[in-house]
């Protein structure tokens, strides 16, 4: 699966309120799925790292960078 398609699908599933961004709660769910047994303890650090504009949410472009860095 191509990275853009994967990010689009992740965004569709985890942007539960469909506001075009992954909020903190949605992000925790996403990280739980992506990291599984590595644990949720890393969430806050990871969220801060990829919330580049400090909007307290993850944009699709920020999610793409996260997926590239963490999952590939």
Residue 20 DSSP class: S
**CB contact set of 67 (below 8 Å; sequence gap of 6+):** 3, 6, 7, 10, 34
Containing structural domain, residue 33: 3-71
Whole-model pTM?
0.56
Number of structural domains (the chain) is: 1
Residue pair 63/11 in contact by the 8 Å Cβ criterion: yes
pLDDT tens per residue across all 72 residues of the chain: 688 898 899 999 999 999 999 998 998 888 888 877 666 667 778 888 889 999 999 999 988 988 888 776
CATH number at residue 39: 1.10.238.10
């Amino acid at each position: 699966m191509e990275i853009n398609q994967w990010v689009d699908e992740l965004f569709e599933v985890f942007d539960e309120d469909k506001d075009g961004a992954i909020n903190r709660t949605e992000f925790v769910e996403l990280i739980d799925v992506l990291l599984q047994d590595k644990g949720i303890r890393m969430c806050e650090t990871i969220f801060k790292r990829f919330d580049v504009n400090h909007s307290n949410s993850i944009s699709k472009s920020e999610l793409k960078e996260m997926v590239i860095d963490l999952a590939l």
